Each structure stands twice: as C-alpha cells, then as structure tokens.
Amino acid sequence: MTAPAITRRVEQVMGMPISLALRGRHAGDATGEAAWQEALAELRRVDEVFSTWRPHSQVSRLGRGEITLDGCDPAVAEVLRLGDDARLSSDGAFDIWLPDADGVRRLDPSGVVKGWAVDRAVAPLLALADTDVCLSAGGDMVCHVADPDGEPWSIGIEDPLDPTRLVARVPVHCGAVATSGSAHRGAHVVDARSGRAQDALASVTVIGAHLTGVDIDATTALALGVDGPAWLRSRLRTAVVVRADGRAETVA
C-alpha cells in the first residue's frame, strides 16, 4: 500500500521554526493552508503579548511593574497560574520568576508559553476533517491521526550528545511530545531555587496528552537534575531521559 503524501510547511515565529506536516484530505489544499495561516496568526498574537525580547510586550511591561495583571490580556493570568502550579509541584525548581546575572528575579514565563501557545494554535488544524496533523515548535509537537486505526506519526528522539543519531522512536496517534535538553542551546535550564543549571541530565523527553503539561514537565525534570526521573514517575509520566554520561532510560 502506498503511504499517503505528506505536505510540509515551515515558518519562523516566536524566535524558532514552526513546522507543520499534514497528510490526508486537506494536505496541500486551500482549507489546509487557511488552517495553517490561522495557527501562525495565533502564535504571532501570543508572541506580541508574551515575548521577553519585546520591551513593549505585556509580559515585559508587567515584569518591570509598568502595568498590573488586571491591565493585561486574560491569557497572561492563565499562564502565570500554570507557572505557579508548576512551581508548587516541583518545590520551586521550576519558576517563571528566574534570577538574572545579578541575582534579581525577573519575570520569564517562556517555560510555560511555548507548549501552551502551540496547544492553542493547533486548534484550527485539528478541526480539519480526515486529515492527520503534526505541528512542531522548536521540536516540541502536537500529533493527531484522524483515523484511530491509521498510521501513527513516528517521532524520533535525538541523542543530545550526538544529534546525528536517535536514542528512540516513539509512535504517536494523538498526543504531544516535548524535549528539554542541552543539545542545541547548552545548559540553559536552571533550578530556580539556586539559579544554577543542572548537569546530571542531558535531555528529558515527555510524552502525554497535551503539550502544555509535557513541556512544563520536561523542563522541570531537567531542572531537577538527578531527581528528575523520580519526579516524573511521581507524576505518572512517560518519558525518555538521557543522562549526562549518555545512558538512556525510559520512565513509565
């Protein structure tokens, strides 16, 4: 049987590549393209509100104390609530208030926003009839197969110590996959309690129903370092963890 053709799109939004793969009824037609453009528009709206690189974004102004939460888009309060929930569940290892080089805590909800934004943006694509969808933001993705008996998307998990090879492949019918690691950005995830990057884990990939949750949990587990796998088990998460020495383990 011939595999269905896949149509691919990619754009730079929110400072990262946003890529789409479609297969099925609306792959390559005007309806699929319109849904893609709607998804991109939502991501651009999110970036206008939440970008920490834009000095006039609502989040930047909120962090400087120039506006109050009541003066922001209601979505800001939603993201801050998610960040606070993650802080509590991780005993403070994850936080949206992070210390800068001078030790001053600055508002940076980026660890929540990416997965949350993609969960919002993917809605018009998931509404496409008889069409399989894989929407990826910087490697974190939402996958959907319209037919429950259809071919799953095969998601490769990159070896953070050698990006030319994979440590695993994960079949996903309907769900999300998020990876946090040092392969492309170095040790950029810190334990918010100390402000120091953990180096016990090279990458954490979490698989679950919604990207918002798995993205936050992947980042949190990486920040927790050696305690990350046990924390994921306590959350009943399915994950692939690569330790700093290259050992890979499955958490389930």
- Could you tell me the pLDDT band of residue 251, with boundaries at 50, 70 and 90? very high
Task: Please state the separation of Cα 135 from the chain's center in Å.
Answer: 11
Q: How many CA atoms lie within 13 A of 19 on its CB side?
A: 10
Residue range 177-201: mean pLDDT, rounded: 84
Q: Would you state the structure tokens that stand for residue 92, as one six-digit string?
A: 């403070």
What is the distance between the alpha carbons of residues 219 and 215, in angstroms, rounded to a whole number? 6
Q: What is the pLDDT of residues 196-235, one digit of tens each?
A: 888 899 999 999 999 999 999 999 999 999 999 999 999 9
Cβ within 8 Å of residue 185, ≥6 positions away: none
Domains of the chain: 6-251 (3.10.520.10)
pLDDT mean across residues, the chain: 94
Q: What is the pLDDT of residues 113-166, one digit of tens each?
A: 999 999 999 999 999 999 999 999 998 999 999 999 999 999 999 999 998 999
For tokens 């940076």, name the residue.
108
pTM: 0.94
Residue range 26-39: mean pLDDT, rounded: 98
What is the distance between the alpha carbons of residues 227 and 248, in angstroms, rounded to a whole number? 15
Per-residue pLDDT at 95 exceeds 70: yes
Cβ within 8 Å of residue 2, ≥6 positions away: none
Q: How many CA atoms lie within 13 A of 41 on its CB side?
A: 9
| pLDDT at 104 (0 to 100) | 86
| pLDDT at 103 (0 to 100) | 79
Which helix (H) or strand (E) is 120 found in, with range? helix 110-121
Q: Would you state the structure tokens that stand for residue 100, as one six-digit string?
A: 């800068």
Pick the most confident of 2-16, 108-122, 191-205.
108-122
| pLDDT at 3 (0 to 100) | 64
| pLDDT at 2 (0 to 100) | 59
Burial 127-159 (b: 16+ CB within 10 A, else e): ebeebbbbbbbbbbbbbbbbeeeeeebebebbb
- Could you tell me the pLDDT band of residue 247, with boundaries at 50, 70 and 90? very high
Q: Would you state the structure tokens that stand for residue 29, as one six-digit string?
A: 């037609």
Residue type, 105: R
